[in-house]
Structure 1
Amino acid sequence: MTKELSKIAFGGGCSRSEASESGVHRSCFSILKAVEKVEQGYVASTNENSDFSEAVIVHFNRKCITLQTLVEIHLLTHNSKSNHSMRKKYRSAIYTFNEVQFETLEGLLREFQKKFNGELITQILPFKDFEPSRAQITNYYFKNPEKPFCETFINPKLKLLLNQFSGFVNQNKVGHLKN
């Protein structure tokens, strides 16, 4: 099968401990079979959202996984309905790389809103710039799966993906969760 790679960026959550929320997102998207690469770091958009905020850039094979599935995973694996004082630094956002993505996402978020209790606060924003995370927190989960942060915050999200999106999950990357 020919690969048709595309990319989208997701931001959300709030940083905790030595691992970042973008590390949580990286873990969630990294276990998916159709995801070729996840870049962990900080994304800037435009205008009032020009400050960098924690995010990941997900490079995926759109023949094997849809943008709709990735957006649903994003919405389910961070608090996409709650505003808090740190939202400027930890935006709930989907960063687009072109106008077609932007228009597609507007429709997807309208459809997902019907399925969620409470208003989704996730913004659709244009991607402007990216800075990678420090090396010590990049890929934190796969280096430290036994750490309390990973067991408390990441494992439940990976188990949710294993239960609700098992056909998309690379079972080799989550074998330790099946015990």
Structure 2
Amino acid sequence: MAIRKIGFGGGCHWCTEAVFASLKGVLAVDQGWITELSHDFFSEAVTVTFDDSIIPLETLMEIHLYTHSSTANHSMRAKYRSAVYVFSEEDRGEAIAILDRLKKQFKDNIITEILYFGAFKRNRAESLDYYYTDPGRPFCENYINPKLQLLMRQFSGAVDFKKLGHLMKDE
């Protein structure tokens, strides 16, 4: 068992947190804001601690690309930077190689960047585990559930279905 840590940014951190918290092999998801090493501008993001013998980085990155607008350079991109935040040169090299392979699956250009992790600010306690504390909230039903349903369809081997039983009734 090799425990690793990676950061992901791209959409709202409530959505991103729910996606990664729903996967087998993910040990912890910490939601808040991340900045890259050479800057002090924070964007919504999560850190993910995972067991790469259960879920490899490539699977996590592929899920990340499909569950946020990884090809769209929209007006909210500064707040929702499309990024993979790495903690070492080795992780950076691996993430770049993975991203190069995954780009071939998309018709449009991927705008996701591989960035060195700089700092993290955790969200307020009442916003943590946002989805799983009340999945019936309108925001959860309208924005997070569609991402989780995509996860169940496209990445069923990686999904912890015990956590998503309430959605299987809708399928």
Q: TM-score, normalising length from structure 2?
A: 0.95
Q: Matched residue of 1:121: which SS? A: coil
Structure 1 stretch 21-30 or stretch 78-87: which is displaced more?
Answer: 78-87
Aligned residue type for 1:32: L
Q: Which runs of 5+ in 2 are unaligned?
A: none
Aligned to 1:22: 13
Distance 2:92 2:138 in 1: 37
* 2:9–2:44 Cα contact (<8 Å) kept: yes
Q: Return the letter of the residue paired with 1:102.
A: R
Distance 1:168 1:108 in 2: 18
- 2:60 maps to 1:62: no
What is the root-mean-square deviation of aligned Cα atoms in Å? Answer: 1.0
C-alpha separation between the residues in 2 aligned to 1:142 and 1:122? 27
Aligned with residue 8 of structure 2, among 2, 5, 10: 10
Look up the SS of the partner of 1:173 in the other structure: coil
Q: Mean alpha-carbon deviation: is it higher for 53-62 or for 128-137?
A: 128-137
**Map of 1:52-91 to 2, 5 A cutoff?**
52-91=42-81
Counterpart in 1 of 2:106? 116
CA-CA distance at 1:140 after TM superposition: 1.1
Give the alignment partner of residue 42 of structure 1, picking from 27, 33, 49.
33
Deviations 1:10-63 (A, max 9, x none): 0012xxxxxxx111111000011100000001101133x431111000000011
TM-score (norm 1): 0.91
Helix, strand or coil for the counterpart of 1:78? coil
- Give the count of matched residue pairs: 169
> Does the CA contact (< 8 Å) of 2:28 and 2:49 recur in 1?
yes
Q: What corresponds to 1:150 in structure 2?
A: 140
Identity of aligned residues (%): 46
Match of 2:160 among 159, 165, 170: 170
Q: Distance in 2 between matches of 1:102 and 1:50?
A: 20
Q: Counterparts of 2:108 and 2:160 in 1: how far apart (Å)?
A: 31
Match of 2:22 in 1: 31
